[in-house]
Amino acid sequence: MDGRAVVVGGGIGGLAAGLGLRAAGWEVTVLERAPGLPETGTGLGIWPGAMRALDALGVGHEVRRRARRQTGGSIRRPDGSRIATIDVGRIERRHGEPVHLVTRPALLAALAAALPGAAVRFGAPVADPGALRDAYDLVVGADGINSVVRASVHGGRYPLRYAGTVAWRGVVDAESAEGGETWGRGRKFGLTPVGGGRTNWYASVSLPPGHPAPADDVAELRRLFGDWHPQVRRVLDALTPAGVLRHEIRDLTPLPSYVAGRVALLGDAAHAMTPDLGQGACQALIDAVALADCVRAADDLPAALRAYDRRRRRATQRIAAGARWAGRLSRARRMLPVRDAVLRLALAAGPPA
């Protein structure tokens, strides 16, 4: 089976879907509203399952070349005392592959370089996804948490949900000896060394809906986290207003299906989740490969899309529910010794790989 496919969204999931469908024999066009690939962006953890997806797309070697291995990390309290250690070596022993750290721009560049230049159209926003169904055999919605393709299929029946959290993130010119997170009362702060003397950081705070935005994000971060241990303070000291992004955390009400007619959703368009398990990019890559595999294996497109939905919807919705639960745990305000014990048990069980 082959045909003409359009992928709306040229992010990680969209570029991966373009690669996978081309390998399955389809003519593919990727439409991306941004004018080009980003030059800056935060670090991503690529877990073994996602690296296997990149291998299936033929870009695993290039991503490994651009990445660095995650060597470990810990979860700490604000005073620096250790709650638990993240045993990344166990992941490699179990799955034969470490967790790799790569910047979003590097991953996108590797995916885009494997596609013919004419296959990706930058500066091409889509206002009417319905019109695409008249021109293409398959429409793939990979256009993120505010997906217009999802809205064209489901309308407003499955809205985004405020997760009760405001987050800040960025990259600073400061070296961190170790990655991991620090959990306080209703707050957390995360660090990921990305090499070259730089550190990817993120912070989150539980806040009710309708809260006012701070007048100065840097001052607010220093107020909230300025008395935490030296690794956190080192990052705070390096912050500049231009290097701080602030946003409310939202996830997607679970959908009853990721497909409708000749439309398939993947990545955040299908299962936008909170970032607490670090699985958003990973699951988008796995979605893309699963969609291509199902299209390749089936005799007709409806059967292929039904198979894709069976393969990915329940799995990703379980991970999304786990991410929401993990976020609530990390920002607990009460019974912190119980929280810490639950964390140690969860780490012993292991995250999705």
At residue 259, the pLDDT reads 98
Question: What whole-number distance in Å separates Cα of residue 127 and Cα of residue 143?
Answer: 12
- DSSP line for 41-99: --EEEE-HHHHHHHHHTT-HHHHHHH-EE---EEEE-TTS-EEEEE-HHHHHHHHS---
d(Cα 311, Cα 307) in Å, to the nearest integer?
A: 6
pLDDT at 69: 87
Query: Cβ atoms within 10 A of the Cβ of 83, count?
Result: 20
The reported pTM is 0.94
Residues of the chain with pLDDT under 70: 349-353
Q: Indicate the burial class of 18 (C-beta count within 10 angstroms; 0-12, 13-18, 19 or more).
A: buried
155 class by beta-carbon count within 10 Å (0-12 exposed, 13-18 middle, 19+ buried):
exposed
* Chain-centre distance for alpha carbon 61: 21
Q: What is the length of the chain? A: 353
The predicted-structure confidence for 78-101, as pLDDT tens digits, reads as follows 999 999 988 878 888 888 888 999
Handedness of CA 43, 45, 46, 50 (dihedral sign): negative
* Exposure string for 336-347, b = 16+ CB within 10 A, e = fewer: eeebbeebeeeb
Rounded Cα gap, residues 6 and 80, in angstroms: 49
CA distance 78 to 227: 8
pLDDT confidence of residue 177: 74
Instruction: Kindly report, residue by residue over 283-311, the tens digit of the pLDDT.
Output: 999 999 999 999 999 999 999 999 999 99
Q: Which of 311, 320, 318, 316 is nearest to 293 (CA)?
A: 311
Name the 3-class secondary structure at 108. helix
220: which 2 tokens? 């607010």
CB 343 within 8 A of CB 83: yes
